[in-house]
């Protein structure tokens, strides 16, 4: 059970860190904040659903369904997510990082629902390619630079982004919720 909990926790951790990045790379800038907030709302809703389900099954402790169903139900949601993955668009930024600009252009045209030769698609691709070229020209970022508070304020951004999650986790809400 503990090993399963660790694997499930790692899976949720991967989802909650990659989905907001993918969303921000595949949506309009005006929608990024809303979509990240919606994603976090669904995450909390899933947590609430899990807790109520577990609570409900405590009323039938003499049957194996009381622990089998909650464990199996998370698999249903994971399988549903895995089935949706093939139809999701690749990140155009990732495609540009891998020097696959033509594929990135096709994805961008799908995302903005315009023809591949539309000026908006061309502009978006040009911005991505230029940004990536500038990042490559600056060279590899070392761990020292990540934790240095230079012109990009990288360390400050990490503290702001990770700090809220850290404080939420360290506040003990998960210990209370899981083991109550």
Mean pLDDT, range 149-166, rounded to an integer: 79
How many CB atoms are located within 10 Å of the residue 76 CB? Answer: 9
pLDDT at 123: 93
The helix/strand/coil state of 147 is coil
Residue-wise pLDDT for 12-21, tens only, equals 888 878 888 8
Cα pseudo-dihedral 158, 30, 117, 25, rounded to 10: 30
In 3D space, the residue among 121, 86, 134, 107 whose CA is nearest the CA of residue 26 turns out to be: 107
**Domain coordinates in residue numbering, the chain:** 1-88
120 vs 43: which has the higher pLDDT? 120
Residue-wise pLDDT for 23-81, tens only, equals 888 888 888 888 888 888 888 888 888 888 988 998 998 898 988 898 888 888 888 88
Q: How far apart are CA 26 and CA 112, in angstroms?
A: 9
Q: What is the pTM of this model?
A: 0.68
Q: How far apart are CA 20 and CA 164, in angstroms?
A: 15
pLDDT at 103: 94
Confidence of residue 141 (pLDDT cuts 50, 70, 90): confident
What is the full DSSP assignment across 34-99? Answer: HHHHHHHHHHHHHHHHHHHHHHHHTT-TTSTHHHHHHHHHHHHHHHHHHHHGGGSPPPHHHHHHTT
């Amino acid at each position: 059970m503990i090993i399963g909990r660790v694997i499930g926790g790692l899976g949720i951790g991967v989802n909650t860190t990659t989905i907001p990045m993918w969303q921000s790379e595949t949506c309009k800038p005006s929608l990024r904040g809303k979509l990240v907030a919606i994603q976090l709302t669904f995450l909390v809703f899933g947590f609430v659903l899990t807790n109520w389900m577990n609570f409900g099954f405590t009323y039938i402790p003499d049957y194996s369904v009381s622990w089998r169903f909650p464990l199996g139900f998370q698999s249903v949601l994971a399988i549903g997510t895995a089935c949706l993955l093939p139809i999701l668009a690749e990140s155009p930024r990732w495609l540009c990082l891998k020097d696959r600009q033509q594929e990135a252009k096709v994805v961008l045209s799908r995302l903005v629902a315009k023809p591949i030769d539309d000026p908006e698609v061309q502009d978006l691709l040009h911005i991505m390619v230029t940004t990536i070229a500038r990042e490559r020209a600056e060279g590899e970022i070392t761990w020292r630079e990540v934790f240095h508070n230079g012109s990009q304020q990288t360390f400050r951004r990490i503290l702001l982004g990770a700090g809220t999650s850290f404080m939420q986790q360290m506040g003990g809400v998960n210990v209370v919720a899981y083991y109550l």
